[in-house]
């Protein structure tokens, strides 16, 4: 059984609150999806906005290796001849071999949105598909609001499909546009219409009931062979069916050949790349591709995992390009200490006094507010220090941070720092957009002369959490800093009643970890 994968991240996904793709963003995502082997990439709605028109014009000069680029649009306007309709013209101007148009299959929309009769709507569908076919295009028809329409008037909803079939559509896609349909209703509707349709059926679901993936799978089970979705489940309101999850389930759970084994290993990387381009935080708990998808924290779980990974993992994470992680916390017991030490080529026996001492220290630090499950960099430094394998890269003699708000309402931050590095005194000053940024700049300025590879790394995320809210502005805070270089990213932590001191701890750990991993 072959399932066609149709991605609409660049059109439906772009309607996510907080996402605004540039033309270059869309080209980068298109190339990434093409490298993964997605069958169809819906590039947008040409003619609806200048950005999408520019995208399709630029894509004419870019040859895709594995995917078909698809232009999207609507059936022609009720008051315009199909050959004069600017929407139809925009689709044709995109010059894609395949086009997708949506039409109304719910009487409510026909009467109250289009403001035409049911028969006129059927004519719009027929004329739009026929005209596009006459211009040499293969047409996919999205039956918008199909399941709501089927529930209200199944005969009319079916008529919209039959008209599109007779007009020459290659695939009919059944859309749960409002995302409010239950799996059993999806299955029932497809079961009733499938015997009357002799072309391929597709499914397009939204996640308003958190059932988009489930509804897509039910549709496939009922006979659909074309599946639409977005990467990371992006989309308007609650999003669309997440193609990352669907691809992995189809391939690994249902044995459906939708992607090669080699391409599947790129799934996590592409998912994270698209979240970066979209400027959206990647969801840690996203199935298959999330950072926490194969993360283990409970001590009982970790102990069992060491003996056999199948005990608490439904697949090998490497199949989708992800990795297993054992989280460091008081709940996890001593196993993560031993495993992390082994990863760092350090000897640590689970039953040794040293392991017990480190575990007690870990619990004490967590009681004081430190959290190492999201700060692996700080934990690895802690292990090095406790096992006496750590060498100091520099010594702090003092720092000062000044923040000044001036008459023009601009805030000025400056940090001065005094260090001893390899026996030499270093005194530097630097400005920044805020006190932490100024301190970071001053620290790097003092160290880069001795450790030039620090120029390769940069701070990529900064989070502050108040730990004791009832203490108000005197509360203890936890600062988490994420840093990265050309090869990897790592997180470090600091805790103090003073946010600058907590930030300093995390900053120092981030730099020391970089130097440690580079084995300076």
pLDDT in tens, 113-143: 999 999 999 999 999 999 999 999 999 999 9
pLDDT bin (cut points 50, 70, 90) of residue 279 is confident
Q: What percent of the chain has pLDDT over 70?
A: 93
Q: In the prediction, which pLDDT does 473 show? A: 55
User: What's the order of all strands across the beta sheet hosting 489-496?
Assistant: 458-466, 477-484, 489-496
Region of 95 please: left (phi>0), alpha (psi -120 to 50) or beta: left
Whole-number mean pLDDT of the chain?
90
CA dihedral 221, 224, 230, 235 (to 10 degrees): -90
pTM for the model: 0.74
Q: In the prediction, which pLDDT does 460 show? A: 82
CB-based contacts of 517: which residues, under 8 Å, 6+ apart?
490
Q: In the prediction, which pLDDT does 341 show? A: 64
Separation between Cα atoms, residue 176 and residue 184, nearest integer Å: 13
Separation between Cα atoms, residue 71 and residue 57, nearest integer Å: 11
pLDDT bin (cut points 50, 70, 90) of residue 366 is confident
- Beta pairing partners, 418: 398, 427
| Neighbour tally for 119: CB within 10 Å | 10
Of 454, 462, 470, 463, the C-alpha closest to 514 is 454
CB burial string 89-112: b at 16+ within 10 A, e below: ebbbebebebbbbbbbbbbebbee
Residue whose entry in the numeric block shows the structure tokens 């030490």: 341
**Both tokens assigned to 366:** 């967590």
Q: In the prediction, which pLDDT does 490 show? A: 87
- Beta pairing partners, 101: 73, 141
pLDDT at position 469 over 70: no
Q: Is 514 helix (H, G, I), strand (E, B) or coil?
A: helix
Separation between Cα atoms, residue 287 and residue 343, nearest integer Å: 26
Separation between Cα atoms, residue 326 and residue 306, nearest integer Å: 10
SS3 string of 196-264?
A: HCCCEEEEEEECCCCCHHHHHHHHHHCCCCEEEEEHHHCCCCCCECEHHHHHHHHHHCCCCCCCCHHHH
Q: In the prediction, which pLDDT does 346 show? A: 64
Of the listed ranges 194-203, 274-283, 292-301, 330-339, the one predicted with least confidence: 330-339
Assess contact for 99 and 127: CB atoms under 8 A.
no
Separation between Cα atoms, residue 467 and residue 496, nearest integer Å: 10
Separation between Cα atoms, residue 45 and residue 90, nearest integer Å: 8
Strand ranges (E), 331-475: 395-405, 411-421, 424-432, 458-466
**Both tokens assigned to 139:** 């047409």
How close are the terminal C-alpha atoms of the chain, in Å? 54
pLDDT bin (cut points 50, 70, 90) of residue 31 is very high
310 versus 239: which is more confidently predicted? 239
- Segment 186-195 shows an average pLDDT of 97
Assess contact for 128 and 101: CB atoms under 8 A.
yes
**Both tokens assigned to 334:** 């001593």
Q: In the prediction, which pLDDT does 306 show? A: 76
Q: In the prediction, which pLDDT does 293 show? A: 93
* Backbone dihedral angles phi then psi of residue 423, each to the nearest 5 degrees: 85, 0
Q: Which of 108-117, 341-350, 401-410, 484-493 has the highest mean pLDDT?
A: 108-117
Angle at 396 between CA 500 and CA 422, to 5 degrees: 145
- Segment 441-469 shows an average pLDDT of 87
pLDDT in tens, 406-435: 778 788 899 999 999 998 999 999 998 889
Q: In the prediction, which pLDDT does 229 show? A: 98
Helix axes 499-517, 376-386, angle to 10 degrees: 70
| Domains of the chain, CATH where assigned | 4-259 (3.20.20.70), 295-367 (4.10.430.20), 394-450 (3.30.160.740)
pLDDT at position 282 over 60: yes
Assess contact for 514 and 485: CB atoms under 8 A.
yes
pLDDT at position 507 over 90: yes
**Both tokens assigned to 34:** 């093409």
Separation between Cα atoms, residue 441 and residue 431, nearest integer Å: 7
């Amino acid at each position: 059984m072959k399932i066609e994968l149709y991605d609409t991240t660049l059109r439906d996904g772009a309607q996510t609150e907080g996402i605004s793709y540039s033309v270059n963003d869309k080209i980068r995502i298109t190339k990434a999806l093409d490298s993964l082997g997605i069958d169809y990439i819906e590039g947008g709605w040409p003619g609806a906005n200048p950005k999408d028109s520019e995208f399709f014009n630029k894509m004419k000069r870019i040859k895709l290796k594995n995917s078909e680029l698809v232009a999207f649009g609507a059936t022609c306007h009720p008051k315009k001849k199909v050959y004069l309709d600017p929407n139809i013209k925009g689709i044709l101007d995109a010059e894609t071999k395949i086009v997708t148009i949506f039409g109304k299959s719910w009487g409510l929309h026909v009467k109250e949105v289009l403001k035409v009769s049911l028969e006129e709507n059927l004519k719009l569908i027929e004329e739009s598909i026929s005209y596009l076919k006459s211009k040499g295009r293969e047409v996919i028809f999205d039956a918008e609001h199909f399941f709501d329409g089927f529930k209200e008037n199944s005969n009319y909803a079916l008529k919209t499909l039959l008209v599109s079939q007779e007009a020459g559509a290659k695939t009919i896609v059944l859309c749960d546009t409002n995302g409010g349909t239950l799996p059993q209703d999806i299955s029932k509707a497809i079961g009733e219409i499938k015997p009357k349709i002799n072309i391929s059926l597709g499914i397009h679901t939204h996640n308003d009931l958190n059932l988009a993936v489930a509804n897509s799978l039910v549709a496939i089970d009922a006979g659909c062979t074309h599946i639409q979705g977005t990467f990371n489940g992006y989309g308007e309101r609650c999003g669309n069916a997440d193609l990352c999850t669907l691809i992995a389930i189809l391939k690994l759970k249902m044995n459906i050949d939708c992607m090669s084994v080699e391409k599947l290993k790129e799934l996590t990387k592409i998912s994270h790349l698209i979240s970066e381009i979209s400027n959206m935080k990647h969801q840690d708990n996203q199935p298959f591709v999330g950072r926490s998808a194969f993360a283990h924290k409970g001590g009982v779980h970790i102990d069992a995992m060491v003996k056999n990974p199948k005990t608490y993992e439904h697949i090998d994470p490497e199949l989708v390009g992800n990795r297993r992680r054992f989280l460091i916390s008081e709940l996890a017991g001593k196993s993560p200490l031993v495993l992390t030490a082994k990863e760092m080529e350090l000897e640590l026996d689970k039953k040794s006094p040293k392991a017990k001492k480190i575990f007690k220290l870990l619990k004490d630090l967590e009681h004081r507010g430190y959290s190492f499950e999201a700060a692996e960099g700080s934990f690895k430094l802690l292990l090095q220090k406790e096992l006496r394998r750590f060498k100091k890269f520099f010594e702090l003699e003092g720092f000062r941070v000044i923040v000044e708000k001036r008459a023009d309402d601009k805030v000025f931050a400056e940090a001065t720092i005094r260090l001893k590095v390899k026996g030499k005194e270093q005194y530097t000053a630097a400005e920044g957009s805020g006190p932490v940024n100024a301190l970071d700049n001053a620290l790097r300025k003092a160290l880069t002369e001795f450790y030039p590879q620090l120029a390769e790394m940069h701070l990529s995320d900064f989070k502050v959490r108040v730990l004791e809210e009832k203490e108000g502005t005197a509360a203890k805070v936890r600062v988490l800093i994420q840093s990265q270089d050309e090869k990897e990213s790592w997180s470090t932590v600091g805790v103090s009643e003073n946010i600058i001191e907590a930030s300093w701890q995390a900053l120092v750990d981030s730099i020391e970890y970089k130097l440690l991993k580079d084995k300076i």
